[in-house]
Chains A and B, each alone.
Chain A
Amino acid sequence: NAGVTQTPKFQVLKTGQSMTLQCAQDMNHNSMYWYRQDPGMGLRLIYYSASEGTTDKGEVPNGYNVSRLNKREFSLRLESAAPSQTSVYFCASRGTLAGGYNEQFFGPGTRLTVL
């Protein structure tokens, strides 16, 4: 199993450009998430999807859109990038293991710089 994969690993954009961050998981998890990590801020939830076909806003959704394409894939789109969106972006998925544990598994992250 590859777990949670993200593409690209690095990206540089100019202000106003658009791009889509891709995320896929092969663990048959229902829930998927997008976080951003800024220095000194910890990880903050942008959007999440509790199941295929549903999405909900997290703590910092402004400037982003998401698509839950199918059970495996959850993409994050920046329609008009701004320097304030310079960050490291993490995708995660959640499964319920035996015993009822609720653990999120994280992808390797995408470092995005907006000039």
Chain B
Amino acid sequence: AQTVTQSQPEMSVQEAETVTLSCTYDTSESNYYLFWYKQPPSRQMILVIRQEAYKQQNATENRFSVNFQKAAKSFSLKISDSQLGDTAMYFCAFMNGNTDKLIFGTGTRLQVFP
């Protein structure tokens, strides 16, 4: 069975600084996808970034980038130039490419301070 582990329950960062959120996963599959979702106080789940396991290049989306280490089964999220609006829960998620199921980690609560 696949599992997703986020070992940092809470993180904080000052505005304009950089922060990295950690995620590790366990799977024996070779075809899979990894995601980071943001959940602000509004509760809406917002996709931040995605990574296909077969791609070696790390995904980037503006201020958000990932460090995908396939052999180590690690998938960390880096937020550069942090903004107050980045304050939210962040969930790492895994999807087996052969099934329809997303498996989520327990989340990291990020607080951005002015």
A interface residue numbers (CB < 8 A to B): 31, 33, 40-45, 48, 50, 58, 88, 90, 92, 94, 100-106, 108-109, 111
Chain A at the B interface: SS class: strand
B→A interface (CB under 8 Å): 4, 33, 35, 42-45, 47, 50, 52, 91, 95, 97, 100-107
Cβ of A58 and Cβ of B101 under 8 Å apart? yes
Contact A45/B101 with A102-B33, A106-B45, A109-B43 known, Cβ cut-off 8 Å: yes
Among B45, B52, B91, B102, the residue within 8 A (CB) of A45 is B102
Given contacts A41-B106, A90-B45, A108-B44, whether A101 and B50 have CB atoms under 8 Å apart is yes
Distance of B82 from chain A, by nearest CB (Å): 23
Q: Is the CB of B95 within 8 A of A43?
A: no
Q: How far is the CB of B108 from chain A (nearest CB, A)?
A: 11
Contacts of B35 in A (CB 8 A): 103
From residue A101, how far is it (CB to closest CB) to chain B in Å?
6
A-B contact pairs, 23 of them (CB 8 A): A40-B106, A41-B106, A42-B4, A42-B104, A42-B105, A42-B106, A43-B91, A43-B104, A45-B103, A48-B100, A48-B101, A50-B100, A88-B43, A90-B45, A92-B45, A100-B52, A102-B95, A102-B97, A103-B47, A104-B102, A108-B43, A108-B44, A111-B43
CB closest residue in chain A, given B47: A103
Give the Cβ gap from B60 to chain A, nearest Cβ, in Å. 15
